[in-house]
Amino acid sequence: MEAILQQFFNLEIMAKALPLVLKGLGVTLMICAVVIPLGAMGGLFAALASVSRNPAIRWAAIGFVDLFRAIPPLVLLIFIYAGLPFAGVQVSPFAAVTIGFFLNNSAYFAEVFRAGILSVPRGQTEAARSTGLSQGQTLFWVTLPQAVRNVLPDLLSNVVEVVKLTSLASVVSLGEMLHAAGLVRSLTYNASPLVLAAGLYLVLLWPLIRMISRFERKIDS
């Protein structure tokens, strides 16, 4: 018991690690602020393309989504970060994370948006068009609001996954929270900084996870 406290919950080491880990948290939040909107937008476009009436566009979108759902994000990230320089393209860790996560997140968001769009009854579109709204107006004012509402828990759960995914940025030495905690761990030979980071992830994500569970129950009943 003593050993567990000493090795995992060492307050002295946690206090020392705190400033660096908090700085890492700032980077984590900044990555999120960039990649979540980007991924959601890319996903929305891919979703619209995947329900297009033009089969070429439809299949291209489905191919894109399936391909990037099949490749592990870490593989994508390392391919961009360590592979592209061989083609003469130098990428900063932040750019690599942004590009890699954009491709991965777009694919996952696309699936959610697609399910949402397909869940809106056809009559809604027909009714909207017959009131004189254009196709674009119908999409923006009638279809999408209902689509998003229908898949809100899945969208939220995707956001949680993206926040968790940002920890991969530590592998390409981007100084986000896990990277900072890992650094202090390697200096102190003590796992407490990692526990501190885990605690901060919990503070950040637990409320969201509870919210998702509540949403899901509401939809069931």
Residues forming the site for another protein (CB under 8 A): 3-4, 7-8, 66-67, 69-76, 78-79, 82-83, 86-88, 160-161, 164-168, 170-171, 178, 181-182, 185, 189-191, 194-195, 197-198, 201-202, 205-206, 209-210, 213, 216, 220
Angle at 144 between CA 143 and CA 149, to 5 degrees: 105
Which token pair is 102? 């954009």
Contact between residue 102 and residue 32 where contact means Cβ atoms under 8 Å apart: no
Integer Cα distance of 173 and 180 in angstroms: 9
- In sign, the C-alpha dihedral spanning 82, 84, 85, 86 is positive
| Minimum CB distance to another protein smaller for 4 or for 56 | 4
Integer Cα distance of 154 and 151 in angstroms: 5
| Minimum CB distance to another protein smaller for 121 or for 132 | 121
The distance of closest approach from Cβ of residue 64 to another protein in the complex, given in angstroms and rounded to an integer, is: 12
Which token pair is 127? 């009714």
The distance of closest approach from Cβ of residue 112 to another protein in the complex, given in angstroms and rounded to an integer, is: 11
The distance of closest approach from Cβ of residue 15 to another protein in the complex, given in angstroms and rounded to an integer, is: 19
The distance of closest approach from Cβ of residue 143 to another protein in the complex, given in angstroms and rounded to an integer, is: 18
| Minimum CB distance to another protein smaller for 18 or for 182 | 182
| Minimum CB distance to another protein smaller for 149 or for 164 | 164
| Minimum CB distance to another protein smaller for 40 or for 212 | 212
Integer Cα distance of 98 and 112 in angstroms: 20
Integer Cα distance of 146 and 141 in angstroms: 9
| Minimum CB distance to another protein smaller for 43 or for 138 | 43
Exposure class string for 131-146: b at 16+ Cβ within 10 A, else e: eebeeeebbeebbbee
The distance of closest approach from Cβ of residue 57 to another protein in the complex, given in angstroms and rounded to an integer, is: 18
The distance of closest approach from Cβ of residue 93 to another protein in the complex, given in angstroms and rounded to an integer, is: 15
